[in-house]
Chains A and B, each alone.
Chain A
Amino acid sequence: MLYTALLTLLSHWKRHPGQFVMLALGLALATALWSGVQAINAEARAAYDRAAATLGQDQLSRLERADGQPIDLADYIALRAAGYLVSPVILGDIRGPDGHLRILGVDPLTTPAEAQGPTLDGTFNLAAFFTHPGLLLVSQDTANGALPNDLPPLQITDNIPPATAITDISTAARLLGQENPSYLLVAANQPHNLPPITQATTLTLRAPQSTSDIARLTDSFHLNLSAFGFLSFGVGLFIVHAAIGLAFEQRRAMVRTLRALGTPLRTILMALSLELAVIALIAGTIGVALGYLIAAALMPGVAGTLRGLYGAEIEGILRFNPSWAISGLLITFLGTAAAAIQVMIRTARMPLLAPAMPRAWAQASGRMIRLQAYAALALFALAALLALVGQGLIAAFACLAALLIGAALGLPALMTGALSLIRPKGAFAEWVVADTRQQIPGLSLALMALLLALAANIGVSTMVGSFRHTFLGWLDQRLTSELYVTAPSSAEAAALMQILAPDVDAILPIVSAEMRLFDRPAEIFGVLDHPTYRQAWPLLSAAPNAWDQLATGDAVLVNEQLSRRENLRVGDIIDIADGLPIVGIYSDYGNPNGQAITSLSHFLETFPNILPHRFAIRITPEEAPALATRLRDEFGLPPNAVTNQAQVKAFSIAVFEQTFRVTGALNILTLGVAGIALLTSLLTLANLRLPQLAPIWAIGTSRATLAGLEMARSLALATLTFLLALPVGLALAWVLLTLVNVEAFGWRLPMRVFPTDWLSLFALALLAAGLAALGPTLRLARMPPARLTQVFAQER
């Protein structure tokens, strides 16, 4: 019985293959975007975990100096001599003209058992590892990539993070010019009867890192991606809902006949569920495969973004991971179930002998529209509440979701309201408006999808545009020096500075040290007192005479990110050196980490081991090219050691563009999905509306006029949707700029609007609506009169 019912139901798709394709496509697209984003996130997270697990650092505590500086070798030896099992690590980056490599120098003789090293095969030469010139263990990818010059021999090894080399501590010490350990790994089990290690040292003990700094930093980025994936999935579900609804409407008669023939309702419901499950499985599988392709295509971009923005090294390659494939399929099933539940309930409630009333499947009553409007108002209130009192990124995204869903739910009421404002003259015009209003419930889901896609597009492009505008202006201010020079060593830098001093306006050393502030990685810079900074550095808030106070060495500036994250204000004391007051806060876009600036003299006092070997040169712009050439030719500096302002700017902008490339791609995809949703709905309506159109035709309106009206109506509805999407999109941009960005990145940007962008988006919306309406319109225009006449014979 079930089999027969199923076959009967399935026969529908044989007669309407287009509908089947639409349903499958909607499901597959929704799944694809969702699982693609999940795949990217899973890959990146796995990469962070792999990096964090390098040498078991996710399980081992560490000893570090509170200021993040290397530990004196004598302090390490003293701990060993006291019996504690600690193991030194020398960590640092070497940069060459083409690439950089993170060097992780370990002492295999003392590394705790938990620090599982890389897997080595029998060809590995341990003697070579320990003795000059040493061996660098790197992954195949790292070996294939751009690397600094003059490296020791490479040994390809599995399980090593990208752009990282594991090597003996002696090799690391030589390559990095640093004998003192960066930090010490602490074995989990210490010998018999020793007091706790914290009593034996002034170093800071850090518990094992369950999540790495990078994973924490990039969390917001991945949450952003997830939010986009979810939005796309939601939009995709509109298609599915529309397609399932259409099939239900068209199979009303079939279901009634089946029941009249004695098929139990349960069997029919089971057959329907089974049918949907099969479709979900097929479409979901296609979707997951498609998602994999999308993710693989986006992955290099994401890797570039993560590297540029956060310094997170992940490979631009996607590995297949069953976990996101399965979760992708699961969400397809859940989505299908959510989209189908209404249809199931209606089928269950359908009276056995009720006539097959042909009417728009989603003809919601005025009551339904009112209910939705109330829900929309409640959601807007919630969004406003979240915007005012919400805390954290999740609240910001919840605010976004409430805003978008509210706007979608409010759409039918707003449209109906807008149409009721029109007072048409003449019977025909009255009919047109009434008919359009009549169609709104049927089209509402598709229009909601379009609204969401348009609003997201306006919101995101406003955010990106505002960001770009602010960022470029800020870059112009910040990058004032004409040339930036990197000397091979601090000694050579000092010599160069002396030689150049008479010929240039100013030489500004650039020194920085990595440290930890508030238990997160941070950087501290030392700057010379010079008008370059006083004039060019935009301070968001500052004490009077901030630069004078900084010059005396008893004050610091901190970046906006740090001040927002830790709630720091001008006048607060920060734990640098012996505690320094904050005299200013500066914007520092694109930097995920906290940063502080102190005077050069104070910096050199605090970090006597760090000597400047980079500096900026102020010179008249006309003289800059000649000086650059002189530096390369006369002083033998490699080409990349001398960069001019334009190069630095270009690099910064490239990082910026890279950051939003993925967002842009997802944006376009979402809009595409919305277009398909609209097409599906119009196709659905086209057939259902014949009974309404036939009488109009019969009283003398030509098919061409009717078709033209259909097209005009579609475009008008798209226009209306766009007009409504505009404020929603701007609200979205506001939430993104003032809530999400502040929470996710730590900087707040002024919002700017770009009306010309709206015009192009409006054109795009019209195009999508026009294309979607084209098929049904043409069919109507070419419909044989006989088919229209049949309406009177067959329906009812």
Chain B
Amino acid sequence: MIRTLLTLLLLTAPFHATSLYAQGFAGLGTQADGFATPTPNPTFTFPLDHGPHPDYRIEWWYLTATLTGPDGTSYGVQWTLFRGALTPETSDNWAAPQLFMGHAGLTTPDAHFSAERLGRGGIGQAGVTIHPFRAFIDDWQMVSTVSEGDALDALTITARGAEFAYDLALTATGPLVFHGENGYSVKSNEGQASYYYSQPFYQVTGQLDLPDGPVQVTGTAWLDREYSSQPLSDTQSGWDWFSLQFEDGARMMAFALHDGTGTPFTSGTWIAPDGTTQSYGDGAISLTPLSTTQVAGREVPTTWRLQVPDRAIDITTIPLNPQSWMATSFPYWEGPITFTGTHQGRGYLEMTGYN
């Protein structure tokens, strides 16, 4: 879903454009001049649409994995490549207005590591290719390993930060799923929307390199693909996003977009173990913060009550590590969670706009 949106415009760390930073995630509500905007009832063409859409302002390849070590310790891994366009054009030199940002996160019960890479398309430092499918920035990459079937059915992902690295192999056990109306996901009552589909059925094996040494892990993972040009309304400033894996094999995605004053805009998708989906529009899901944690100098809600009356779901989510703070150019909270209540399972939570 919406996830850590960025306008890469706001990201150039070496220049202290503080007042620009102040716009933060709300900057995503700005007008999309000259860019294409999503329209209802899209038709996706694969593998083409797994690749970049330079005529849309923002896009991402966003993977989260809940993992377990040989001693039963839980881990979480995030791998994201964002694309942001300054103008809806491409070129094969420094002048390419397509900018990329990679985020990698690794969460353990008592530590959280994050890393960031920036680069521009056009010179080969970062980009996404379709044949074969490969999303990359520097040495971080997400590469398709399938010979037939959907390109995203099997992937390897790697990333490396100052204190950590990981190398994971992913195999999908179910189909791609489409959010909203066939992948047209509405984000506000004013009609802002994005194209949004996921592969929520990965089985994972791989290795984490931690400061204390390597750890072999297994688990599950969830890949989001989303692109748009103006995904937020003027007043929306952030969001809370959940991906949940139920014990019976079902999945669920839920988000709330919040603005300064009114009720959050909520939406979600129920995904049966076979991949059939049911979309929920604004108001069908309720998300209530139960307690907050002091994280990086601010109060962030880290335990939540999530209710879906239609499905008799009433659960409480608890973070693996309440300090799962991504200390990147645009900082946000992202980490693995477990939940109990009417249902049990694991998942991932992302929260942005907590300044």
CB closest chain-A residue, reference B8 = A109
B94 interfacial by beta-carbon distance below 8 Å: yes
Tell whether, in the assembled complex, residue B9 and residue A80 are in contact, meaning their CB atoms are under 8 Å apart: no
Measured in the bound complex, the distance between the Cα atoms of B125 and A116 in whole Å is 23
Q: Is B164 an interface residue (CB 8 A)?
A: yes
Contact A83 B160 (CB under 8 A): yes
Measured CB to CB, the nearest residue on chain B to A106 is: B14
Instruction: Tell me if B87 is interfacial: C-beta within 8 Å of chain A.
Output: yes
| B120 / chain A contacts, CB cutoff of 8 Å | 107, 109
Which A residues between 185 and 227 are near B, CB-CB below 8 angstroms? 189, 191-194
Does B252 touch A at the CB level, under 8 Å? no
A120 within 8 A of B: yes
- Taking the nearest CB of chain B, how far is it from the CB of A428, in angstroms? 85
Q: Which of A115, A179, A191 contacts B162 (CB 8 A)?
A: A191
Given the contacts A117-B16, A126-B15, A173 and B93 also touching, CB distance less than 8 Å: yes
A122 contacts B19, C-beta separation under 8 Å: yes
B17 touches A120 (CB 8 A): yes
The digit string for A118-153, where 1 denotes a CB below 8 A from any CB of B, is 111110101100111000000000000000000000
Asked if A77 and B123 make an inter-chain contact with CB atoms under 8 angstroms apart, the answer reads yes
A541 beta carbon closer than 8 Å to chain B: no
Contacts of B12 in A (CB 8 A): 108-109, 126
Say whether B86 contacts A130, CB under 8 Å: yes
B17 x A77 contact (CB < 8 A): no
Complex Cα–Cα for A667 and B139 (A): 63
Of B19, B20, B94, B138, which one neighbours A81 at CB under 8 angstroms? B138
Asked if B94 and A131 sit within 8 Å, CB to CB, the answer is: no
B16 touches A120 (CB 8 A): yes
Q: Determine if A109 and B86 form an interchain contact, defined as CB atoms under 8 angstroms apart.
A: no
In the bound assembly, the distance between CA atoms of A168 and B14 in angstroms comes to: 12
* CB neighbours of A174 from chain B (8 A): 95
**Contact between B17 and A110, CB atoms less than 8 A apart:** no
Chain A residues near B253: list those with CB within 8 A: none
Q: Does B26 contact A (CB under 8 A)?
A: no
Of all chain A residues, the one with the shortest Cβ separation from B13 is A113
User: Which residue of chain B is the closest to A79 with respect to CB atoms?
Assistant: B138
Residues of B within 8 A of A110 (CB): 118-119, 125
> A37 to chain B: which residues have CB within 8 Å?
none
Contacts of B20 in A (CB 8 A): 122, 124, 126
From A108, which residue of chain B is reached at the shortest CB distance? B12
The answer to the question of B318 belonging to the interface, with a C-beta cut-off of 8 Å to chain A, is no
Interface positions of B from 1 to 26, Cβ below 8 Å from A = 9-20
Chain B residues lying within 8 Å of A83, measured Cβ to Cβ, are: 138-139, 160
Would B118 and A109 count as touching, CB distance under 8 A?
yes
| Nearest-Cβ distance from residue B126 to partner chain A, whole angstroms | 9
Contacts of A74 in B (CB 8 A): 124
In the complex, which of the residues B15, B19, B87, B115 contacts A131, with contact meaning CB atoms closer than 8 Å?
B87
Check if A33 is an interface residue, CB within 8 A of chain B.
Answer: no
Query: Taking chain A's interface residues, is the majority helix, strand, or loop, or is none over half, making it mixed?
Result: loop
Residue of A nearest to B12 (CB): A108
CB-defined interface of B92-106 with A at 8 Å, one 1/0 digit per residue? 011111010000000
Given contacts A122-B17, A124-B20, A192-B161, contact A109 B94 (CB under 8 A): no
B residues less than 8 Å from A122 (CB atoms): 17-20
- Report the nearest A residue to B93, measured CB to CB: A179
Q: What residues of chain B lie closer than 8 Å to A271, measured between beta carbons?
A: none
Contact B9 A126 (CB under 8 A): yes
In angstroms, how far is the closest chain A Cβ from the Cβ of B271?
35
For residue B285, CB closer than 8 A to chain A, the reply is: no
Q: What is the CB-to-nearest-CB distance from B119 to chain A, in angstroms, rounded to a whole number?
A: 6
**Contact, CB under 8 Å: B162 / A108:** no
Identify which of B14, B93, B123 contacts A108 (C-beta below 8 A): B14
> Does B209 count as interface, using CB distance less than 8 angstroms?
yes
Q: Which of A149-188 contact B (CB under 8 A)?
A: 168-170, 173-174, 179
Is A82 an interface position by the 8 A CB rule? yes
Query: Is B320 interfacial (CB-CB < 8 Å)?
Result: no
Q: Is the interface of B mostly helix, strand, loop or mixed?
A: loop
B306 in the interface (beta carbon within 8 A):
no
A387 to B322, CA, bound (A): 74
| Neighbour of B164 across the interface among A124, A192, A194, CB < 8 A | A192
Q: Determine the chain A residues whose CB is within 8 A of the CB of B274 once the complex forms.
A: none
Q: Which residue in A82, A119, A170, A173 is a CB contact (below 8 Å) of B16?
A: A119
A192 and B209 contacting across the interface, CB-CB below 8 Å = yes
- Given contacts A81-B139, A83-B138, A170-B94, is CB(A120)–CB(B15) below 8 Å? yes
Q: Does A73 contact B (CB under 8 A)?
A: yes
- Is A111 positioned at the interface, with any CB of B under 8 Å from its CB? yes
Bound CA–CA A81/B143 (angstroms)? 14
Q: A83, A118, A121, A130: which has the most chain B beta carbons within 10 Å?
A: A130
Please measure, in the bound complex, the distance between the C-alpha atom of A108 and the C-alpha atom of B16, giving whole angstroms. 11
Chain B proximity mask over A92-118: 1 for CB below 8 Å, otherwise 0: 000000000000000111110101111
Point out the residues of chain A lying under 8 angstroms from B94, CB to CB: 107, 168-170, 173, 179
Q: Is the CB of B19 within 8 A of A111?
A: no
Report how far A724 CA is from B13 CA in the complex, Å: 67
A83–B138 CA distance with the chains assembled, in angstroms: 6
Taking the closest CB of chain B, its distance from the CB of A72, in whole angstroms, is 12
B93→A117 contact, CB < 8 A: no
Q: How far is the CA of A555 from the CA of B11 in the complex (A)?
A: 52
| CB < 8 Å neighbour of B123 from A73, A116, A121, A194 | A73
Q: Residue among A74, A174, A189, A192 with the most chain B CB within 10 A?
A: A192
Is B165 at the interface (CB under 8 A from chain A)?
yes
B12 shortest CB reach to chain A, Å? 4
Which residues of chain A have C-beta atoms less than 8 A from B161's C-beta?
Answer: 191-192
Kindly state whether residue B163 has any CB partner on chain A within 8 Å: yes
Q: Chain A residues near B93: list those with CB within 8 A.
A: 170, 173, 179
Residues of A within 8 A of B10 (CB): 126
Chain B residues positioned under 8 Å from A170 (CB to CB):
93-96
B165 contacts A191, C-beta separation under 8 Å: yes
Residue pair B209, A189 in contact (C-beta under 8 Å): no
- B226-243: CB near A (< 8 Å → 1, else 0) gives 000000000000000000
Which one, A81, A117, A131, A192, contacts B14 given CB within 8 A? A117
Tell me whether B14 and A111 are in contact (CB under 8 A). yes
A586 nearest CB across to chain B (Å): 40
Which residues of A have CB within 8 Å of B97?
A: 130-131
Chain A 722-764, CB-CB to B under 8 Å as 1, else 0, gives: 0000000000000000000000000000000000000000000
**Cα-based distance from A73 to B124 in the complex (angstroms):** 9
* Nearest A residue to B115, CB-CB: A191
B14 contacts A113, C-beta separation under 8 Å: yes
A82 touching B123 by the CB < 8 A rule?
A: no
Separation in Å of the B118 CB from the closest CB of chain A?
4
Q: For the complex, what is the distance from the CA of A109 to the CA of B97, rounded to whole Å?
A: 12
In the complex, which of the residues A107, A115, A124, A194 has the most CB atoms of chain B within 10 Å of its own CB atom? A107
B18, B95, B125: the one within 8 Å of A80 (CB): B125
A724 CB to closest chain B CB (Å) equals: 63
B91 to nearest A CB, angstroms? 9
Closest A residue, CB atoms, query B91: A170
B9 touches A121 (CB 8 A): no
CB nearest neighbor in B for A166: B15
With known contacts A107-B120, A121-B19, A127–B14 Cβ distance under 8 A? no
Give per-residue flags for B108-144: 1 if the beta carbon is below 8 A from chain A beta carbons, else 0.
Answer: 0000000100111001110000000000101100000
A116 to B13, CA, bound (A): 9
Contact yes or no, B19 A117, CB < 8 A:
no
Given contacts A117-B14, A122-B20, A173-B95, A82 and B139 within 8 Å (CB-CB): yes
Q: Show 17 A/B contacts (Cβ-Cβ < 8 Å), sorted by A.
A: A80-B119, A80-B138, A83-B160, A109-B120, A110-B125, A116-B14, A120-B16, A122-B17, A126-B12, A126-B17, A130-B99, A131-B87, A131-B97, A168-B94, A169-B94, A191-B162, A191-B165
Residues of A within 8 A of B (CB): 73-74, 77, 80-83, 107-111, 113, 115-122, 124, 126-127, 130-132, 168-170, 173-174, 179, 189, 191-194
**Extra contacts besides A124-B17, A130-B9, A192-B163 (13): CB < 8 Å:** A77-B124, A81-B136, A108-B15, A116-B14, A122-B18, A126-B12, A131-B87, A131-B95, A173-B94, A173-B95, A179-B93, A192-B160, A193-B209
